Chain A
Amino acid sequence: MENGTVINVLYFAQVAELTGTRLENWPLNEPITGEQWLNALEQKYPQLAPTRRLKLAVNQFHVKPSAVINPGDEVAVFEPVTGG
């Protein structure tokens, strides 16, 4: 699979526990919004529902669900953060 046809997805903390994986290559040929991708994520991992509560980072920056995800991006999905 060529690099341009996937996104690298990172799962953290409780999301990683629910998916059972921390890193996954996700096929993606065309740009998609974060919201559309979260819906696809929920189809693949129903145990994550409702995914609209989850937060996204694209290429290591927080983004809103309306942001566009492009092939080749690094996408991270996680629960609201709890540091400090």
Chain B
Amino acid sequence: MVVVQTEDFNSAELTADLRERTAKHAGALVTFTGYVRDYAGEKETHTLFLEHYPGMCEREIGDICQQAQSRWNTAEPVVVHRVGEMHNGEQIVFVGVASAHRGDAFRACEFIIDALKTRAPFWKRETLANGEQFWVQQRESDARKTQEWETKQAS
């Protein structure tokens, strides 16, 4: 399930739904929630704005989930990603993965959030407490992690 929305989400409900859907065969359920930090570098932030490419964004996340599902034998993952304006401490993204075994669930969940950061067409703009605005640059460490997944064996 892939959802891109402006509204906040209930991560407990998303987790419970995934558990209900997979309870018969999943021995492990791993979730990741990303939140808005209250700092950027050394500066205090005010709000975070997220823009996306509608259509491509949902499809790209769907492709990432399918890759994870086939590589680690998981149930259909859940990804909910917010767009628009968000305040410090608010939830940005939820990833939930259920699998027979914990190793697959951990790895698939990490793969999905890593791939999201370098493949899904979202762009973040920070507004600092002093009013200054800037678009966030992609981290080299994120790009490197995605490359590592491509070369890593599915173990």
Q: Which residues of A contact B (CB under 8 A)?
A: 10, 12-14, 57, 60-62, 76, 78-84
Contact = CB atoms under 8 A, between A and B. Distances in A.
Contact of A76 (B34, B53, B81, B136): B53
A57 B53 contact: yes
Interface of B: 34, 50-53, 55-56, 59-60, 81, 92-93, 113, 116-125, 135-138, 142-143
Contacts, number: 72
B116 A84 contact: yes
A39 to B, nearest CB: 23
Given A14-B135, A60-B59, A83 B53 contact: no
A82 B119 contact: no
B125 A83 contact: no
Name B's interface SS: mixed
- Most chain B CB neighbours (cut-off 10 Å) among A12, A78, A82: A82
A84 B117 contact: yes
A10 to B, nearest CB: 7
B138 A82 contact: yes
A7 to B, nearest CB: 16
Given A13-B51, A14-B135, A83 B124 contact: yes
Contacts of B121: 12, 57, 76, 78, 81, 83
Nearest to B4: A83
